[in-house]
Each structure stands twice: as structure tokens, then as C-alpha cells.
Amino acid sequence: MEIMQVVGRMVCTQRVDGLNHMDLRILRNNNGKQLVAVDPVGAREGNWVFTATGTAARFACPNPSTQTDLTIEGIIDFWAPDG
């Protein structure tokens, strides 16, 4: 798992069947790299979230056959990043 921040949303009208109608979010990791994640929990821009990657990312979705390698697993309500 990794903690990332939601920096935007992505709208794609043409997708492979394996993505169905899942919401997509743009995340920024601690190195500043932007990544696209499937969002089954309804995160909003500015939220801090924790994510799953690889096979675990598929199982974090309502349908484990979703084609993803990065999924938001939860929205962080409180976190003190500086300790």
C-alpha cells in the first residue's frame, strides 16, 4: 500500500470492457509522479488516499475482474505526515 493525494479526475468515454464504468482519479505519489487509479470509494480532489497495486488492486474493486493495477482502497480521514 502507498499513500497518495488525489490531484484530479479523468473522464474517458471509450474504455476496454474490463474497466466498466469505474471512476478514474489522477494521483500524485511522494515523488511527484502522477498516476491513474480506479476509484471505487468516491475520493475527491485534495483527498489523501491509500492504494493497492498489482493483483491486490483488482481485488480491491467490487468486481475482481476489473483491469487495473492501481486502485484507491480508502480515503484517509486523519494523517499526520510529519509524525
Q: How far apart (Å, rounded) are the C-alpha atoms in residues 1 and 80?
A: 17
Give the per-residue pLDDT at 83. Answer: 60
As for how many domains the chain has, the answer is: 1
Give the per-residue pLDDT at 42. Answer: 95
9 domain residue, yes or no: yes
Least Cα distance to 15 among 24, 6, 2, 28 occurs for 24
Does the pTM surpass 0.75? The reply is yes
Which structural domain range is residue 64 located in?
Answer: 2-75
83 domain residue, yes or no: no
Domain CATH number, residue 39? 2.40.50.220
The SS3 of residue 3 is strand
Per-residue pLDDT of the chain (83 residues; tens, 9 = 90+): 899 999 999 988 877 777 777 899 999 998 999 999 999 999 999 999 999 999 899 888 888 888 889 999 999 999 777 76
71 domain residue, yes or no: yes
51 domain residue, yes or no: yes
81 domain residue, yes or no: no
Give the per-residue pLDDT at 67. Answer: 87
16 domain residue, yes or no: yes
Helices (H) and strands (E) in the chain, counts: 1, 5
